[in-house]
Amino acid sequence: MSEPRTNEMNGAEAAVRMLQAHGVTHMFGLCGDTTLPFYDALARLDHGINHILTRDERHAAYMADGYARVTGKPGVCEGPSGGGATYILPGVVEASESSIPVLAITTDVATTSRGRYPLTELDQVALFRPLTKWNASLDDATRLPAMMRNAFRSMTTGRPGAAHLALPFNTQKAAVDPSEIWAEPRHAFFPADRTGPDIARIEAAADALLSAKKAVAICGGGPVIAGAQAALAELGNLLDLPIATTVSGQGAIAETDPLAVGVVGSNGAAPSTRAVVDDADLVLFIGCRAGSVTTERWCSPSIDTRIVHIDSDPEVLGANYPTEVAIAADAKLALEALIACLKERKGLPSFDGSNRAAAAWQGKLAAFEALAASDEAPIRPERVIATLQRLLDADANIVADPGTPCPYFSAHYRWPQAGRHFITNRAHGALGYALAASMGAHVGRPGVKTVAVMGDGSFGFCCGEFETIVRHKMPITSIVFSNSTFGWIKAGQDSGFGKRFYNVDFDRTDHAAVASAFGVKAWRVEDPAELETVLKQALAHDGPTLVDIISQPLHEAAAPVSEWVA
């Protein structure tokens, strides 16, 4: 293909301009041979996009994910062909399955080289097809502006999700008509083009609530994504309705709210919170898939409980429970319509939500408080949670990896504000997520303190990105629960496989020394009496910090995971 004429632009330049037109101000990625035209366009053009060079493509996608969650804007990541395309996949599938719009741009070998065994050739469209909401290769450069608009429209409308666009080397250099560079401003944010509810279904949901005696709401990530916190609080107050959340749904309601039950399900709940669900005669699922963790493998609520279900994805409705009323709609619009409908009714029920929620927390705190005050070593995770609760501001961002951090923070860190303040990867649970996602969260919300919490297994997946944190002077505090094992798996072997521990333990790493080598100010804590002083210093420091905490392993702890307790 010929180079564009002076009154035209090439595909790489058009890609930059289309990102700019969609309001993109930050992008995360890693360079490669096939990306040279794209990087050259980024270098030459005045576009206002801050490109953050990462140390691998997986973390670029995790950064874009964290950025999207705190900004309400699609995150953008990029990487080269071959290994770059395969490395970026874990972050793309996590975002898409979590209903977070992330655009992954991967460059590719020239279309004219396909089938001739060029280095790094693979079928990128086939690779990304099952993992994305929208996916294409730009084989014709003139189609780039339309494809970019398609990608942003798909990512932000309906149930949000990830998109992928491959840019072959030669189409990055081919001509594009500048008049095609435009964007729909509403697709620069999510959720866009919200779907309203069927009013007849809203009336039926109101009828169901009016006939119930002990209803409870369980909120997934949908209300947080939709910004439905105010509507949810109004519904709760109208009916004195207890409101529980999934792990992804934390932030739908402040957990200090009298109606907040806290997390339910197998990861982060307690017998007292499960009792609220088990005793209910009607469950209102809101933006929640009612999956295996939330429902303790579809046992809580029981299969014969009356269900009213609101979700923006109609495929979710009725997938796991017989559903009395199914409402395919945006959570905010559906709740607002339901409130308006209920206000027209007489004799509204009161579901005793404040007392039921208080009993749930009392039961949980009874077990937690003694452990949080323990002077035992290795340090109990409960003590770390309680200390951070005292030290962090109410608007802090906490990003937690699976393993030790997720169940403890989900169960015991009592979020004082509604909104997105807690991020964890609940779709696929890959280790090494928290550090990179915290970087994206910091870039998107730089005015608040961001804390990344990980196990030492996760640390091994992601420590290269400490160079990126230092290079960009990000004042993120990282906390490592150091117990020399892949703790989640060892706890499963302990509870379900006769304590036959096989290939889960590894040697202890001096994580503080590793972080210091990258230029991070770091501490190691073994004595519980030193924990608060060190955490206070780390949180107050004006640059990147890390605290390596020698902690109790999960299989010896009182972790809030129901299958281990059983």
Q: Residue by residue, what is the 3-state secondary structure of 468-510?
A: HHHHCCCCCEEEEEECCECHHHHHHHHHHCCCCCCCCECCCCC
Mean pLDDT along residues 116-133: 96
Q: What is the reported pLDDT for 1?
A: 35
Nearest to 560 by CA among 320, 297, 266, 353: 266
Which tens digits make up the pLDDT trace of 389-413? 999 999 999 999 998 899 999 999 9
Percent of the chain whose pLDDT exceeds 90 = 95
The mean pLDDT of 524-544, rounded to a whole number, is 98
Q: Which whole-number Å values give the CA distances from 540 to 393, 436, 510, in the listed order?
A: 12, 21, 23
What does the pLDDT read at residue 564? 83
The DSSP letter of residue 78 is: E
| pLDDT confidence tier of residue 18, bands split at 50, 70 and 90 | very high
Calculate the CA 156 to chain-centre distance: 16
Distance separating alpha carbons of residues 352 and 333, to the nearest angstrom: 25
pLDDT tens profile 295-351: 999 999 999 999 999 999 999 999 999 999 999 999 999 999 999 999 999 999 999
pLDDT at 41: 98
Q: Model-level pTM greater than 0.85?
A: yes
Q: Which of 233, 245, 231 is nearest to 338 (CA)?
A: 231
d(CA 84, CA 107): 9
- Ordered strands of the 134-137 beta sheet: 50-53, 26-29, 75-79, 102-108, 163-168, 134-137
Task: Kindly list the structural domains of the chain, giving each domain's residue range(s) and its CATH number in brackets, ordered by start.
Answer: 9-188 (3.40.50.970), 199-356 (3.40.50.1220), 373-565 (3.40.50.970)
Closest CA to 427 of 124, 162, 164: 162
Mean local confidence (pLDDT), 367-385: 95
Joined together, the tokens standing for residue 17 give: 């301009």
The predicted pLDDT at position 566 comes to 57
pLDDT computed for residue 124 by the predictor:
97
- Provide CB contacts within 8 A for 293, sequence distance 6+: 246, 247, 265, 266, 267, 426
Alpha carbons 33 and 42: distance in angstroms, whole number: 15
- What's the chain's average pLDDT? 96
Report the C-alpha gap between 448 and 396 in whole angstroms: 6
pLDDT of residue 403: 86
How far is it, in rounded angstroms, from Cα 154 to Cα 452? 30
pLDDT of residue 109: 96
Q: 6 pLDDT exceeds 70?
A: no
